[in-house]
């Protein structure tokens, strides 16, 4: 009989190593036939690996956020002296971060932007459907800045301002809390502003049917009326197939309603085809009410969804669209 120590050096290298490891673990734990348990553990890991991947991939977005923050800190440190004399100190930093996100959008999603000709030269309010993450909006903002040299502010949920380390990122990119007065002021100064009326609730609890969840929100319409600017609807094809949520589970909905925090698991991060479509502007009308403008905007956004999105959304189909070509509309 070959002893335990001899088995560590006898036979082919991979077999001897595994035999040695199994023997040591068996001696250490006192468990007989430990190799059966190890085989089961390896099998279980193999089965659960795809499930782990789909929950870990959305973390890439978080990594990109903090990479952007790191780059901004480095940029600030390298240009501290110039900050006192520059009229737009962060212009170079925004271009740098835009390049990072645009590169990720191009490589991972084959990202395309259509209809930029519908964005007015002056101020305007972009109203968009909110996916599970805001990645598609960031791709849009980056592409717009790189190609058109246009900068777009955005209104974010209050919880975003409490995320550790995000302050420099939010300040650099002009992210707003969303008071109507602040939004109207930015538009009157000639800025381009974007808002998703559905906000976090739409992000977490809409699904592959792409239902618009606005509730009774019409503040954005009043902002456009007060600032006398057009509203531009925007939608990203397959945004729900890239990342999905478990918002259909009632306990997560209850937790959100109680805490107002996005305590809902995400999964996906799939490299699906993403195309952002910008619709025709809804011009300012002096006699229109906020309720009427809200209904008009919702109808325009719904029309974009129906035109460009196959419903219900399908992850496999969205992946296959990476290999299809579509004539650009710009």
Q: How far apart are CA 235 and CA 229, in angstroms?
A: 20
Half-sphere exposure of 210 (CA within 13 A, CB side): 24
pLDDT at 288: 96
End-to-end CA distance of the chain: 78
193: β partners: 125, 153
pLDDT at 2: 41
Domain boundaries, the chain: 31-87, 88-321
Contact status, residue 115 vs residue 277, Cβ threshold 8 Å: yes
Distance of CA 39 to the CA centre of its chain: 39
Helices (H) and strands (E) in the chain, counts: 15, 9
pLDDT at 1: 40
**Residue 267: other Cβ atoms inside 10 A:** 17
The residue assigned the tokens 């800190």 is 73
Contact status, residue 279 vs residue 117, Cβ threshold 8 Å: no
What is the crossing angle of helices 180-188 and 219-227, to 10°?
30
Contact status, residue 239 vs residue 272, Cβ threshold 8 Å: no
The residue assigned the tokens 């673990």 is 25
**Residue 299: other Cβ atoms inside 10 A:** 12
Q: CA triplet 300, 156, 75: central angle to 5 degrees?
A: 120
Q: How far apart are CA 150 and CA 145, in angstroms?
A: 5
pLDDT at 260: 85
DSSP E strand boundaries for 184-242:
192-195, 231-237
The residue assigned the tokens 């609730």 is 201
Query: For the whole model, what pTM was predicted?
Result: 0.83
Which residue stretches of the chain are H helix?
A: 4-7, 13-29, 34-56, 59-78, 80-83, 91-109, 135-148, 167-172, 180-188, 199-205, 219-227, 239-242, 250-259, 290-308, 315-320
Q: How far apart are CA 322 and CA 330, in angstroms?
A: 20
pLDDT at 90: 83
Backbone φ and ψ for 258, nearest 5 degrees, come out as: -85, -40
Low-confidence ranges of the chain (pLDDT < 50): 1-7, 9-15, 328
Contact status, residue 328 vs residue 256, Cβ threshold 8 Å: no
Catalytic residues, by residue number, are 130
What is the crossing angle of helices 34-56 and 13-29, to 10°?
100
Burial of 145 (C-beta count, 10 Å sphere; 0-12/13-18/19+): buried
Per DSSP, the three-state class of 202 is helix
Q: How far apart are CA 118 and CA 184, in angstroms?
A: 21
Backbone φ and ψ for 36, nearest 5 degrees, come out as: -70, -40
- Give the tens place of pLDDT for each residue, 246-291: 998 999 999 998 888 888 999 999 999 999 999 999 999 999 999 9
CATH architecture of 88-321: 3-Layer(aba) Sandwich (3.40)
């Amino acid at each position: 009989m070959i002893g335990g120590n001899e088995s560590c050096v006898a036979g082919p290298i991979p077999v001897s190593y595994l035999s040695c490891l199994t023997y040591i673990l068996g001696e250490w734990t006192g468990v007989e036939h430990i190799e059966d348990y190890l085989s089961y553990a390896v099998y279980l890991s193999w089965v659960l690996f795809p499930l782990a991947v789909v929950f870990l991939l959305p973390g890439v977005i978080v990594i990109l956020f903090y990479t952007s923050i790191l780059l901004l800190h480095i940029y600030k440190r390298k240009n501290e002296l110039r900050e006192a004399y520059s009229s737009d100190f962060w212009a170079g930093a925004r271009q740098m971060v835009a390049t990072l996100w645009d590169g990720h959008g191009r490589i991972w999603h084959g990202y395309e932007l259509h209809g930029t000709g519908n964005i007015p030269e002056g101020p305007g309010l972009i109203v968009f459907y909110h996916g599970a993450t805001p990645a598609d909006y960031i791709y849009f903002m980056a592409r717009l800045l790189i190609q058109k040299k246009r900068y777009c502010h955005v209104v974010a949920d209050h919880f975003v301002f409490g995320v550790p380390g995000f302050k420099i990122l939010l300040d650099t990119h002009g992210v707003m809390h969303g008071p109507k007065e602040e939004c109207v002021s930015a538009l009157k100064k000639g800025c381009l502003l974007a808002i998703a009326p559905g906000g976090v609730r739409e992000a977490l609890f809409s699904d592959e049917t792409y239902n618009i969840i606005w509730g009774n929100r019409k503040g954005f319409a009043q902002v456009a009326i007060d600032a006398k600017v057009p509203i531009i609807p925007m939608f990203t094809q397959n945004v729900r197939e890239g990342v999905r949520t478990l918002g259909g589970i009632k306990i997560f909905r209850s937790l959100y309603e109680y805490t107002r925090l996005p305590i809902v698991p995400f999964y996906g991060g799939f490299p699906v085809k993403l195309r952002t479509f910008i619709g025709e502007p809804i011009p300012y009308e002096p006699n229109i009410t906020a309720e009427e403008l809200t209904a008009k905007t919702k109808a325009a956004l719904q029309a974009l969804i129906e035109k460009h999105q196959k419903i219900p959304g399908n992850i496999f189909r969205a992946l296959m669209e990476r290999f299809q070509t579509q004539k650009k509309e710009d």
